[in-house]
Structure 1
Amino acid sequence: MSGWDQQLIKTSRGTFEVFCNGEGTPLCVTHYYSEFNHSGDYFADSFTHNHKVYLVNLRDAGNSVKASLPYQLSMLETVFDLEAIREALELSKWNYAGHSIGGVLGVIYGIFFSGNLTAQVIVGAAARDYATFSPNCIYHPEHPQFHYMQKLIKCLKRDELGEIEKIKLTKERTKLSLRQPERYHQLFAKKIHKKISATRLNFFNRELQTFDVTKKLCLSTVPKLFICGKYDVQCPLEYSVEMHEASPNSELVIFNHSNHYPFLEEAAKYKLEVDRFLQAVDL
């Protein structure tokens, strides 16, 4: 058992399902469209050895409150929801850590609520649409694996898809984001399973087309650690460099042997860098 305990947090903006694990300084982890459960999350697991981690199911995910209007699924409204959860937990501040789209959400959080955050760890993310302009992104038509990725996505959307086939296709999709795909079973060995909120994913795919907060990064004063794999095909390294250069009070660590999952692909180095950073700001 991973030790993730469910809590239903009543806030001014509705009730949210949160899974808790670990002891120490409070730290929030979430993802824009993932649905978490008692099995936890690989990224969130990397913080439980020295933090009390709150793994949040956002609006329309898991057993959290449903959206009554579409705009409630936006990134800005989602940050307001996170703030309501922090207030309901009676925490004056907490850390925030986000990977991939969870990191994108963290960028928004840092811009609007730096004063309520102790520190942020942003892994493999971006502050603007990361696919349209970068052929290094696997969702760009010029990327060499673009067509294979699109084929996998199309297959995963089939209504008649069986569970076994779904698992197989999901593995193949994940392997495209590993520097050494042959290590898949070694890296993803835990019995962690999660779903996707279709309504949140669909809303995000629309919002991404106009997403660009690069000019507001200067407003985010919270200490930030940007981490990115050198070979990240989801949110390419260039976007982490861009965020670091535009963000005050930030540092960037590049993982030279990783793709999109440095916390798994180079776990020992990742732990050292994150612990060093968070121990300094948590003092």
Structure 2
Amino acid sequence: MGRYVQVEPNVKVYVEDIGEGTPVLFLHGWPVNYKMFEYQLNVLPKHGIRTIAMDFRGYGLSDKPSTGYDYDRMADDVRAVIDDLGLTDAVLAGFSMGGAIAAHYMARHQGHGISKLALLSAAAPVFTQREGYPYGLTPEELNEQIIEPIFEDRAKLLDTFGGMFFAKEHSKPFMNWFHALGMEASSYGTISSAMALRDEDLRGELETIQVPTAIFHGKKDEICPFEFAEQMHQAIPSAELVVFEESGHGAFYDELEKYNAELIRFIQS
């Protein structure tokens, strides 16, 4: 069932909450929304897993304010959802940008309510290159390839981005559906979140994560290169690395059966 959670006086976020059992809170990536987890929401509740997925502010069915797209505020929104739902001993599962925000949540809120962490193709520890971190796009390339095109033709940019998302070829109706998820976001939220991806740096925070952590990452990821996963694996003391050899960024669909099986294993272990 769906509900709204007040995260600021004038901002509510949407939460889908299905099933009973061990609670798992999914955080979506840029620039889509909770519906990207459709193929997990269909399966996990049948295995005694309470499957919860939220839309970040600016995305999907949530309110779309003009501000609040830095990692601090987004992590605080996650805290508001966890508190509103009364979650304890939950699994926090973040994909791409959502993975970075999940990792930041663990540091900023000392893992409040969370007993396990799943970092799914996470945009961490840093999404763009900087001194001592030669992975991913440079900040200038991100501006040129992602942020500036949003001002010119957001639909085309999302089509290009979607074309990089998967390593396998999927049906045109599926790709059209996935593109439509990105178009449900606010344009200004999409831009502000891209700026956060460019600027935020979680190095130094990952070492503080103490809960069991699973890093799911596609070997063919063109958006968050596999080196990201190796960096996270080195930094997080409790981490295991689950490699999807045939997957790109969208391992959740490129290798759907393995992905769901590994998720269930990790959640129930």
Under a length normalisation based on structure 2, what TM-score does the superposition of the two structures give?
0.79
Q: Residues 217 and 169 of structure 1: is their aligned pair in 2 closer, same or farther, counting only changes over 3 Å?
A: closer
Shift of 1:206: 2.4
Pairing partner for 2:90 from 94, 100, 103? 94
Q: Which residue of 2 aligns with 1:105?
A: 101
CA distance in 2 between partners of 1:88 and 1:35 (Å): 23
CA distance in 2 between partners of 1:49 and 1:244 (Å): 30
**For residues 58-114 of structure 1, what are the alpha-carbon distances to aligned partners after superposition, in whole Å with 9 as ceiling and x for unaligned?**
22334534547x3x3211111111111111112234221111111111111122332
CA distance in 2 between partners of 1:74 and 1:252 (Å): 27
What is the DSSP-based 3-state SS (H/G/I as helix, E as strand, rest coil) of the residue aligned with 1:239?
A: helix
Question: What stretches of structure 1 of length at least 5 have no aligned partner?
Answer: none
Shift of 1:184: 1.7
Q: Which residue of 2 aligns with 1:114?
A: 111
**For residues 233-281 of structure 1, what are the alpha-carbon distances to aligned partners after superposition, in whole Å with 9 as ceiling and x for unaligned?**
111011111111111211111111111111211122222222211111x
The answer to whether residue 253 in structure 2 is matched with residue 258 in structure 1 is: no
Shift of 1:176: 2.2
Contact persistence 1:17–1:64 (CA under 8 A): yes
Q: Which residue of 2 aligns with 1:26?
A: 23
**Residue identity in the other structure for 2:94:** G
**For residues 162-186 of structure 1, what are the alpha-carbon distances to aligned partners after superposition, in whole Å with 9 as ceiling and x for unaligned?**
xxxx4x8755542323223xx2218
Contact persistence 2:217–2:244 (CA under 8 A): yes
What is the DSSP-based 3-state SS (H/G/I as helix, E as strand, rest coil) of the residue aligned with 1:73?
A: coil
The answer to whether residue 117 in structure 2 is matched with residue 129 in structure 1 is: no
Q: Residues 33 and 175 of structure 1: is their aligned pair in 2 closer, same or farther, counting only changes over 3 Å?
A: closer
The answer to whether residue 170 in structure 2 is matched with residue 184 in structure 1 is: yes
Once superposed, what is the RMSD of the aligned Cα atoms? 3.4
Q: Which residue of 2 aligns with 1:84?
A: 80
CA distance in 1 between partners of 2:254 and 2:232 (Å): 23
Identity of aligned residues (%): 24
Q: Which residue of 2 aligns with 1:268?
A: 257
CA distance in 2 between partners of 1:20 and 1:268 (Å): 22
Contact persistence 2:5–2:84 (CA under 8 A): yes
The answer to whether residue 171 in structure 2 is matched with residue 174 in structure 1 is: no
Greater CA deviation, 245-254 or 55-64?
55-64
The answer to whether residue 61 in structure 2 is matched with residue 75 in structure 1 is: no
Contact persistence 2:135–2:228 (CA under 8 A): no
Contact persistence 2:135–2:227 (CA under 8 A): no
CA distance in 2 between partners of 1:33 and 1:258 (Å): 18
Question: Which one has the largest radius of gyration?
Answer: 1
**For residues 170-212 of structure 1, what are the alpha-carbon distances to aligned partners after superposition, in whole Å with 9 as ceiling and x for unaligned?**
55542323223xx221893796642223232222232333321
Under a length normalisation based on structure 1, what TM-score does the superposition of the two structures give?
0.76
Contact persistence 2:69–2:196 (CA under 8 A): no
CA distance in 2 between partners of 1:127 and 1:189 (Å): 25
Contact persistence 1:31–1:105 (CA under 8 A): no
**Residue identity in the other structure for 1:25:** T
**Residue identity in the other structure for 1:121:** A
Q: Residues 123 and 247 of structure 1: is their aligned pair in 2 closer, same or farther, counting only changes over 3 Å?
A: same
**Residue identity in the other structure for 1:236:** P
The answer to whether residue 58 in structure 2 is matched with residue 60 in structure 1 is: yes
Q: Residues 115 and 83 of structure 1: is their aligned pair in 2 closer, same or farther, counting only changes over 3 Å?
A: closer
CA distance in 1 between partners of 2:235 and 2:149 (Å): 39
User: What is the aligned residue count?
Assistant: 259
What is the DSSP-based 3-state SS (H/G/I as helix, E as strand, rest coil) of the residue aligned with 2:223?
A: coil
Contact persistence 1:32–1:58 (CA under 8 A): no
Greater CA deviation, 117-126 or 58-67?
58-67
Contact persistence 1:16–1:65 (CA under 8 A): yes
CA distance in 1 between partners of 2:123 and 2:18 (Å): 27
**Residue identity in the other structure for 2:2:** Q
